[in-house]
């Protein structure tokens, strides 16, 4: 399998704070890759750098063969992105927002594709509601839709189950697993370890900006370990252990 994402010594500093500290990792095509870490570990910053939303202060990275520094827009046109905070434009209705996304991405037959997602995620009754009047859970459904409506080869999702009730969480997990079975790739950032163990094929642990571990989930389960306990043992040792 080829790598769809490669980062080498990727770093991001905000003044004296090193949010991401010389991280090197790669993600193979067809993986459901989980970037794990406590709050403040640098996960969101990593996704922002890998999607060209913020410029690294050091290192290099390519996503689907596109350099995130020299062509950040090129990266964003090729991938699906769901940020941690859902932010559809407040002045558009749900369907108007998807029509806008379709125009930007040049997606044909948007009405048919939008109707599929309205039905699949069970929010067809909110189709003509202004985004500012949608609940947080419904806004998350809309952001999920905009990330996958063009069927990207790679999607990067920051906390995929945030704001979803248990029924919707189960549906979304099922979708993500099925999506990678089609040969596509998912990169998620989460601190919910049980979810990562359940659905991810590969994982990396980030703590205080440093990469502590990366490898297949099956390597842990094959030797009788569970991801939550493995994660806690590494993080408690600290990044300099």
Q: Map tokens 């704070």 to a residue.
A: 17
List all residues 6 or more positions away from 101 whose beta carbon is below 8 Å from its beta carbon. 107, 146, 149, 150
In angstroms, the CA 4 to CA 185 distance is: 8
Please name which of 173, 179, 174, 171 lies closest in space to residue 152, comparing C-alpha atoms: 179
- Residue 130 contacts residue 92 (beta carbons within 8 Å): yes
pLDDT band at 240 (very low <50, low <70, confident <90, very high): low
- Residue 184 contacts residue 150 (beta carbons within 8 Å): no
Q: What is the pLDDT of residues 27-41, one digit of tens each?
A: 999 999 999 999 889
The percentage of residues in the chain with a pLDDT greater than 70, rounded to a whole number, is 98
Q: What is the pLDDT of residues 63-111, one digit of tens each?
A: 999 999 999 999 999 999 998 776 888 899 999 999 999 999 999 999 9
Q: Tell me 35's DSSP state.
A: E
Predicted pLDDT at 238: 66
Q: What angle do CA 15, 158, 63 make, to 5 degrees?
A: 80
User: In the numeric block, which tokens belong to residue 91?
Assistant: 């002045």
pLDDT band at 237 (very low <50, low <70, confident <90, very high): confident
Domains of the chain: 1-79+153-241 (3.40.50.300), 86-151 (no CATH)
Choose between 241 and 211: higher pLDDT. Answer: 211
List all residues 6 or more positions away from 23 whose beta carbon is below 8 Å from its beta carbon. 7, 9, 10, 11, 42, 46, 59, 206, 209, 210, 211
- Record the pTM: 0.93
Q: What is the pLDDT of residues 6-60, one digit of tens each?
A: 999 999 999 999 999 999 999 999 999 999 999 889 999 999 999 999 999 999 9
Segment 194-206 mean pLDDT: 95
N- to C-terminal Cα distance for the chain?
A: 32
Across the chain, mean pLDDT equals 93
């Amino acid at each position: 399998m080829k790598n769809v994402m490669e980062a080498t010594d990727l770093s991001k500093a905000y003044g004296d704070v090193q949010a991401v500290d010389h991280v090197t990792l790669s993600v193979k095509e067809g993986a459901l890759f989980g970037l794990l870490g406590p709050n403040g570990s640098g996960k969101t910053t990593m996704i922002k750098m890998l999607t060209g939303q913020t410029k690294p202060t050091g290192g290099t990275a390519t996503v689907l063969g596109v350099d995130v520094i020299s062509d950040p827009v090129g990266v964003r046109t090729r991938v699906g992105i769901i940020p941690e905070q859902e932010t559809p434009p407040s002045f558009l209705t749900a369907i108007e927002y998807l029509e806008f996304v379709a125009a930007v991405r040049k997606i044909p037959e948007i009405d048919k594709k939008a109707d599929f997602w309205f039905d699949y995620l069970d929010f067809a009754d909110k189709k003509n509601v202004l985004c500012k009047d949608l609940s947080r859970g419904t806004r998350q459904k809309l952001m999920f839709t905009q990330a996958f409506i063009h069927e990207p080869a790679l999607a990067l999702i920051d906390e995929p189950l945030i704001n979803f009730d248990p029924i919707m969480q189960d549906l979304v997990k099922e979708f993500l697993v099925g999506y990678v079975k089609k040969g596509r790739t998912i990169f998620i950032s989460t601190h919910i370890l049980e979810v990562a163990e359940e659905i991810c094929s590969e994982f990396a642990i980030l703590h205080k900006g440093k990469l502590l571990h990366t490898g297949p989930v099956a390597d842990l389960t094959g030797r009788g370990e569970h991801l939550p306990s493995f994660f806690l043992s590494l993080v408690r040792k600290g990044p300099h252990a």
